[in-house]
Chain A
Amino acid sequence: MADTSTVTMRIWRGDATGGGFEEYEVEVSSGEVVLDVLHRVQATEAPDLAVRWNCKAGRCGSCSAEVDGMPRLTCMTRMSIFDPNEPITVAPMRTFPVVKDLVTDVSFNYEMAKRVPPFQPRPKPVDGYRMLQEDIERVQEFRTCIECFLCQNVCHVIRDHEENKPHFAGPRLFIRYAELEMHPLDTGDRRDLLQEQNGLGLCNITKCCSEVCPEGIHITDNAIIPLKERVVDRKYDPIAWLSRTIKARRSRRTT
């Protein structure tokens, strides 16, 4: 069977009123991930240790935490990447209020999602919609998002700036807007809303979000920058607007 060893886990324990790190000596078997070890702490030493998790396969995005300072999915973080002689620190995501231990209140993200105007498809042709694979691939990339909220957690616009939260949707929601804007069937236009109420302009493309995305979504390059271009195009760039109008007229004439 698998080899076992012992490690020291420093786990943040506490609730909204405060808390601190507590150390646990835990057995680890080869092949295990951080979440396995947290479960062992629960089963043997701290039955009330609060951990949010579901699929344990990197598909649901529930078990986000900061492991040795890095935002990660604990179910996809192998224990073997850490030095077994050093304690491993596990803390809750810092950007969201703590509920208890490693569980945070992520309702901010759900509130922001409610602001997104829904999908508005163009009318369906009699023989159904047709879309080419190459035209949907970009949107499919955004749809791989598992809503782990690690991108929201590292985004410095809100990480230490509670005051920005009411008017900043954050990277997760930017790819949601991008997904709608780039959907071949969608007819909506959410650009004003993005710029004026959701703080797209506050992002200064440091790409921290893209770096932590466990799905490898190119959040900044493929969603945020193109959205910024679309917004700028329309709002502040009369030349781009004029050239597009002329093009549109020409194409209408030629068809």
Chain B
Amino acid sequence: MREREAREYDVIVIGAGGAGLRAAIEAQTEGARTAVICKSLLGKAHTVMAEGGVAAALGTVYPEDNWEVHFRDTMRGGKMLNNWRMAQIHAQEAPERVLELEEWGALFDRTRDGRILQRDFGGHRYARLAHVGDRTGLEMIRILQHKAVAADIDVFMECTVVRLLKDGDRIAGALAYRRESGKFVEFRAPAVVLATGGIGKAYKVTSNSWEYTGDGHALGLWAGADLIDMECVQFHPTGMVWPPSVTGILVTEGVRGDGGILRNGSGERFMFHHISEMFRAETADTEEEADRWYTDRKAARRPPDLLPRDEVARAIVAEIKEGRGTQHGGVYLDIASRQDTDFITRRLPGMYHQFKELADVDITKEPMEVGPTCHYVMGGLKVDAQTAAATVPGLFAAGEVAAGMHGANRLGGNSLSDLLVFGRRAGRAAAEYARALGVRPEATSDQADEIARAALQPFEQRDGENPYALQQDLQDTMQELVGIIRTEDELRKALDRLAELKGRAGRVTAEGNRLYNPGWHLALDLRSLIAVSETIALAALERKESRGAQTREDYPQPDPEFAKVNIVVRMKDGEPYVDQAPLEPLPDELRAIVEAK
């Protein structure tokens, strides 16, 4: 292992989605020698899948919109579990970050007077999402990709980080392997930005791609960082449900923002029966009022179809459970009867194409069948709001892998803006940290050797477990026992099964050689995936209440005591350990904003 490739940087960014690229651009601009390491090719990260838009109170469509309203919507959507300082910074900085993308070449759809057009989305009081049809993420990633190329940032594509390296308490780099050759690369860097996205591949039905195996969550956890809010996993209310091979693929919330409505199997607009107390005052309670809202925002209240995602997902689950689902176990999402063909194909070209190609459904003529799909994790590394610094010196986190910004439930559109706002802050703070260091941390050389040896272990295991079968068992476990609705019994059962799966993961066999070997890659991804699944189950068990995405059948109400704490998971003696940490109290002036009508 002596001749291992070694690279030295000031800042390494793991992940090349919106947060990673924005962080890298900032770090490089700040003068840090920066590299991006990503599991896929550049430009393929999960950000390309983001459809509806990027939330920012630009006020181009509704001049009465401002950061305070955006902050209020975000906090209420997150059921007040948010790190309020992050939510505030986010609401204040998002407009600048969106306009900056325009300066870098992004072309958002326009208003009649040539400004950035904004669309309605769930939980946002005003039309607030800057967008490009239903492919906003693609536009964002391409612009950031071009910017990163122009900034001459080194990009290590198809390269997966196995573990972070440390010198005492401090981060000293990372050990990765190149997927193509299977060879290891040792990155020596005092500052690491995790921007690895989420954990969706722990579930069977998910909108997430293969990459979403919780790598950053696990890397952080193993390096000693605190994870918070891991129980908060968002199930997007509208994923495809038919045919089986496309189950889980996302159907953008933009469909509802643009007038689409939900109906159950009998054609009833069921959302009117599922308006929770928190949103009753601001939600229409008749079809007539809801329909009027599209043309008259002042006199009518918002349709319940546009409630935050946790509310809509729970309502759909309830309808299906009570026997009012559709033939394929979903509900209908109908835009065909609400908008004309030209409007639909112009505003939602991706959705039109996706249903036509994959399901033989013409969404301009027929309703779509949809159901909840695992979409996003609000939980992740605990970070400082200003600097995105995690609880380990030299470690930073931005985007989905970081926690706090979205509390117990994220509003649609707040992710793309989160990536930009905190990606930039993480990149800047990482560069500053690296610059201010006296002596660079150095990992002992046997650390990397040890990690490499463990990573190659699946090649030595003969006749062991099949990684694909193991992943399927894991996904079944999480889907069945740690899904949308949870109980103590099921969570305990899940933890038992996860312990068993962890044992099996130690006996996985990789066939063939190290050259571009997906079986081996999955064997390694499974280690992260199982570790992260365990933190989700543990945290879900600890929070004995229902709040946002955490729904406990045995504790169906929110509990004011749990409103005051984050659930923390960290490693202790080689095992994940659960703790609670108090939330920072919301200052009075911000409380007034949140509680304003």
Binding site for B on A (CB under 8 A): 1-2, 15, 29-33, 36, 42-44, 47-62, 76, 78, 99-101, 103, 105-106, 110, 113-114, 116, 118-119, 121, 124, 128-133, 136, 139-140, 143-144, 146-147, 180, 183, 185-186
B326 to chain A: closest CB distance in Å?
15
- Residues on B with C-beta less than 8 A from A180 are 105
**A147, B43: Cβ atoms closer than 8 Å:** yes
Q: A31-B245, A119-B105 are in contact. List 14 more A-B contacts (CB 8 A).
A: A44-B468, A47-B466, A47-B467, A47-B511, A48-B510, A57-B249, A60-B44, A61-B44, A62-B41, A113-B146, A114-B149, A121-B103, A130-B115, A140-B107
**A50, B518: Cβ atoms closer than 8 Å:** yes
- Residues on A with C-beta less than 8 A from B115 are 128, 130
Query: Which of chain B's residues has its CB closest to A49's CB?
Result: B518
**A136, B517: Cβ atoms closer than 8 Å:** no
Query: Which of chain A's residues has its CB closest to B357's CB?
Result: A76
**A136, B110: Cβ atoms closer than 8 Å:** yes
Chain B CB count within 10 A is highest, among A29, A44, A146, for A146
Query: Which of chain A's residues has its CB closest to B141's CB?
Result: A60
B439 within 8 A of A: no
Q: Given A53-B210, A60-B209, A139-B107, A31–B114 Cβ distance below 8 Å?
A: no
- Residues on A with C-beta less than 8 A from B209 are 53-56, 60
A-B contact count (CB 8 A): 157
**A15, B515: Cβ atoms closer than 8 Å:** yes
Query: Which of chain A's residues has its CB closest to B117's CB?
Result: A133
CB 8 Å contact bits of B461-477 with A (1 = contact, 0 = none) = 00000111100100000
- Residues on B with C-beta less than 8 A from A144 are 135, 138
**A42, B519: Cβ atoms closer than 8 Å:** yes
**B113, A130: Cβ atoms closer than 8 Å:** yes
Bound-state CA distance A24–B595 (Å) is 62
Give the residues from 502 to 537 in chain B that come closer than 8 angstroms, CB to CB, to chain A: 510-513, 515-520
Bound-state CA distance A130–B111 (Å) is 9
- Residues on A with C-beta less than 8 A from B46 are 54-55
From A58, A105, A143, A185, contact of B354 by CB (8 A) = A58
B593 within 8 A of A: no
- Residues on B with C-beta less than 8 A from A29 are 243-245
B186 within 8 A of A: no
From A1, A106, A124, A147, contact of B244 by CB (8 A) = A1
Q: Given A50-B517, A56-B249, A42–B468 Cβ distance below 8 Å?
A: yes
**A136, B107: Cβ atoms closer than 8 Å:** yes
**A140, B44: Cβ atoms closer than 8 Å:** no
**A47, B353: Cβ atoms closer than 8 Å:** no
- Residues on A with C-beta less than 8 A from B242 are 31
Bound-state CA distance A28–B346 (Å) is 34
**B354, A57: Cβ atoms closer than 8 Å:** yes
Give the residues from 83 to 108 in chain B that come closer than 8 angstroms, CB to CB, to chain A: 99, 102-105, 107
B48 within 8 A of A: yes
B358 to chain A: closest CB distance in Å?
7
**B359, A31: Cβ atoms closer than 8 Å:** yes
Chain B CB count within 10 A is highest, among A54, A99, A105, for A54
Bound-state CA distance A121–B102 (Å) is 10
Query: Which of chain A's residues has its CB closest to B349's CB?
Result: A144
Query: Which of chain B's residues has its CB closest to A77's CB?
Result: B357
Jot down 29 A-B pairs with beta carbons below 8 A, ordered by A. A1-B244, A30-B243, A31-B358, A33-B358, A47-B466, A47-B468, A47-B511, A48-B517, A50-B518, A54-B44, A54-B210, A55-B209, A56-B209, A57-B246, A57-B249, A57-B354, A58-B353, A58-B357, A59-B135, A60-B44, A60-B49, A105-B180, A110-B157, A130-B113, A131-B110, A133-B109, A143-B139, A147-B44, A186-B105
A153 to chain B: closest CB distance in Å?
15
Query: Which of chain A's residues has its CB closest to B48's CB?
Result: A60
**A124, B103: Cβ atoms closer than 8 Å:** yes
Chain B CB count within 10 A is highest, among A50, A101, A106, A183, for A50
Q: Given A31-B243, A47-B512, A48-B519, A57–B49 Cβ distance below 8 Å?
A: yes
A253 to chain B: closest CB distance in Å?
27
Binding site for A on B (CB under 8 A): 40-44, 46, 48-49, 99, 102-105, 107, 109-110, 113-115, 132-133, 135, 138-139, 142, 146-147, 149-150, 157, 180, 209-211, 242-246, 249-250, 350, 353-354, 357-359, 466-469, 472, 510-513, 515-520
**A146, B245: Cβ atoms closer than 8 Å:** no
A149 to chain B: closest CB distance in Å?
10
- Residues on B with C-beta less than 8 A from A55 are 44, 46, 48-49, 209
Bound-state CA distance A58–B353 (Å) is 9
Chain B CB count within 10 A is highest, among A58, A105, A139, for A58
Bound-state CA distance A14–B517 (Å) is 12
A220 to chain B: closest CB distance in Å?
21
- Residues on B with C-beta less than 8 A from A50 are 515-518
From A30, A48, A128, A143, contact of B518 by CB (8 A) = A48
Bound-state CA distance A46–B513 (Å) is 12
A141 to chain B: closest CB distance in Å?
11
Chain B CB count within 10 A is highest, among A57, A113, A114, A132, for A57
A238 to chain B: closest CB distance in Å?
33
B17 to chain A: closest CB distance in Å?
11
**A118, B150: Cβ atoms closer than 8 Å:** yes
- Residues on A with C-beta less than 8 A from B243 are 2, 29-32
Q: Given A2-B244, A128-B99, A136-B107, A146–B520 Cβ distance below 8 Å?
A: no
A117 to chain B: closest CB distance in Å?
9
Bound-state CA distance A121–B517 (Å) is 44
**B516, A100: Cβ atoms closer than 8 Å:** yes
- Residues on B with C-beta less than 8 A from A133 are 109-110
Which 6 A-B residue pairs are closest in the complex by CB-CB distance?
Answer: A31-B243, A47-B519, A48-B512, A130-B114, A43-B468, A119-B105
Bound-state CA distance A75–B407 (Å) is 34
Bound-state CA distance A118–B209 (Å) is 30
From A47, A100, A147, contact of B515 by CB (8 A) = A100
- Residues on A with C-beta less than 8 A from B44 are 54-55, 60-62, 147
Q: Given A101-B516, A133-B109, A118–B146 Cβ distance below 8 Å?
A: yes
A134 to chain B: closest CB distance in Å?
9
- Residues on A with C-beta less than 8 A from B42 are 110
- Residues on B with C-beta less than 8 A from A99 are 180, 515-516
- Residues on B with C-beta less than 8 A from A30 are 243
- Residues on B with C-beta less than 8 A from A2 are 243-244
Bound-state CA distance A60–B357 (Å) is 16
Chain A CB count within 10 A is highest, among B48, B99, B133, B180, for B48
